[in-house]
Amino acid sequence: MYDLLSGLKIIEVSSFVASPTAGLYCAQLGAEVVRIDHKAGGLDYDRYMMTSEGRSLSWENLNRAKKSVALDLNSGEGRELAAELVRQTGQLITNLPVNSFLPHDKLAEGCPELVSVRIMGWHDGRQAMDFTVNAASGYPLMTGPEDWDPATAPPVNQVLPAWDFITGAYCAFTLLAGLRHRDKTGKGIELRVPLGDVAIGTMANAGAMAEMLYRGGDRERLGNAIWGAFGRDFLSQDGKRFMVAALTPKQWKATVEAFGLAAEVAALEAELSVDFAASDHHRFVNRHRLFALFQSAAERFDYAQLAQRLTAAGATFERYRTMFEAAQDPDLVTNNPLFGPSPANPSGFEYPATRSFANVPGQDRADPRPAPYLGEHSEEVLAERLGLSSGEIAKLIDRGVVATSDKDT
């Protein structure tokens, strides 16, 4: 936690991954983010995987450092409370549809300076999720073993919902851009970010769209090889699999040195009349010959020896780990200042928790804060933002419009 965004208050009405991620990143940099949910929990409140206590580990981690207000969002009174909280706050992140009970134009009637960021599916209003926009992007049909038949090979979906996380990060940036616009003009603004546009736009920004149009067809599957450069997984003498990447002349030189292949690589260059150090193109086009050389060399060393040699030479590499191994790795987690001690998680399960990804030199990152219990801050926020008295709030609770902490449920 840093206080870089201290003083910024945000209402978040969201579910699943992209929208909560945007609020999470703002909260980790010091913003006060209040998440509003239906009193029984939003669509993602029970998202797999659940602990034996009935708490979602996904929800718990995407909502760290936030406050929680729980309202009956099926009722007109609960929806109006949510709308008034948005108006009194002035900043909104949501993935509710444009025609939901929180449309920007209606909210702005009582708050013309409102800055809202709305995550959509596709630009034309169709629904979408990470795994469906990924299907449209072409990447799953570019992934898989090199020897698969292009005509019959199935797509390979990625496990990580990458488009959701990229969209969440982009929306946090977009919100700050909207605030900058308001600071300059005094006017509010609605910013809509379609998940599908993030996927197809990122594909275009990467140059892949231009590449396919230029080549007039699709790129071949490459297995674990890096497109357009030298890189692949290799297996050491003791059965450890690791990834090597050499995208620059310096990385290439270090990799050849570490594997002890200077003479063999020079002989292959002479045979093919190429200079591998001077060209990514030559390393990529002749990758199969090079892969065979490097795999043969890898089989002469245990991984610990290779890791020492690769590190000493300044090469770029990493051993493959299972995610369970990664979660316990000293370099990745235990000794990494990104992670702090486990706070009082609603799940009751203790595990390392992330701080902000940003690292400000000379400033210590505060310990991670827990996710809230659903409705934990309902009374506090309604009193502070809307000026409701304790008696008024008590009546709302009695009528079932407002719910308080589900800690004991």
One-letter amino acid at 297 equals: A
CB 21 within 8 A of CB 165: yes
Q: Extract long-range pairs of 2-6: CB within 8 Å, 24+ residues apart.
A: 2/28, 2/29, 2/30, 2/356, 2/358, 2/360, 2/363, 2/365, 2/366, 3/30, 4/29, 4/30, 5/29, 5/30, 5/31, 6/30, 6/31
Q: Which of 30, 213, 184, 199 is nearest to 115 (CA)?
A: 184
Q: What is the spatial distance between Cα 241 and Cα 182, in angstroms, rounded to a whole number?
A: 52
Using the structure block, give the residue that is written with the tokens 């979906």: 157
Q: Both ends of the chain: CA-CA distance in Å?
A: 29
Strand ranges in 200-240 using DSSP code E only, listed in sequence order? 230-235
- Catalytic site includes residue 105: no
Secondary-structure breakdown of the chain: helix, strand, coil percentages, each rounded to the nearest 5: 40, 15, 45
Q: Considering 37, 72, 130, 164, which one is annotated as catalytic?
A: 164
Phi, psi of 176 (to 5 degrees): -65, -35
Nearest to 36, CA basis, from 362, 344, 347, 376: 376
- How far is residue 94's CA from residue 111's CA, in Å, rounded to a whole number? 17
Q: Which long-range contacts (CB under 8 A, 24 or more apart) does 3-8 make?
A: 3/30, 4/29, 4/30, 5/29, 5/30, 5/31, 6/30, 6/31, 8/32, 8/91, 8/179
Structure token digits, residue 323: 């995610």
CB atoms inside a 10 Å sphere around CB 180:
11
Find where tokens 């060209």 sit: 279
With a CB cutoff of 8 Å and minimum separation 6, the contacts of 403 are 39, 70, 71, 72, 374, 375, 378, 397
Residues tagged active-site = 164
